[in-house]
């Protein structure tokens, strides 16, 4: 009788394996194994599922999209920094201080 139950469970798990993505439980499984806290693992899995239902994307896909948007905005950050007035005044003040130190040391 016990062997029949095990076989039925294995068959049902085999057929229901495609119902969820296997990577969806990877994070909570790691959390459970490292911390031993089932509530934290359940919260992690539940929050991932809520985000997926609300946005239609997994949390990783959302992070990739956000990082691509930020990279597009900050593409010319070096050019913007070099052309800014604040940078100009910073460099000008640094030259003045250095020049005054050199003049004092030469006297």
Whether 34 and 60 map to the same domain: the answer is yes
Alpha carbon distance 45, 30 (integer Å): 11
Share of the chain above pLDDT 90, in %: 2
* Tens digits of residue pLDDT in 85-107: 888 898 899 999 898 888 877 77
* Tens digits of residue pLDDT in 21-62: 555 556 666 666 776 777 777 777 788 888 888 888 888 888
Alpha carbon distance 97, 107 (integer Å): 16
Cβ contact 32:38 at 8 Å: yes
What letter does residue 25 receive in the DSSP assignment? Answer: G
Whether 41 and 69 map to the same domain: the answer is yes
Whether 87 and 46 map to the same domain: the answer is no
Look up the domain containing 1 and give its range: 1-75
Whether 25 and 60 map to the same domain: the answer is yes
Whether 47 and 82 map to the same domain: the answer is no
pTM higher than the cut 0.75: no
Whether 8 and 30 map to the same domain: the answer is yes
Whether 98 and 55 map to the same domain: the answer is no
């Amino acid at each position: 009788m016990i062997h029949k139950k095990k076989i039925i469970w294995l068959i049902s798990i085999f057929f229901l394996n495609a119902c969820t993505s296997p990577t969806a439980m990877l994070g909570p499984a790691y959390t459970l194994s490292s911390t031993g806290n089932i509530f934290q693992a359940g919260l992690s899995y539940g929050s991932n599922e809520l985000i997926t239902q609300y946005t239609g994307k997994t949390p990783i896909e959302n992070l990739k999209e956000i990082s691509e948007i930020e990279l597009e905005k900050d593409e010319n950050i070096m050019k913007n920094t070099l052309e800014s007035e604040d940078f100009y005044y910073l460099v000008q003040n640094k030259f003045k201080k250095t020049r005054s130190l050199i003049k004092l040391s030469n006297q």
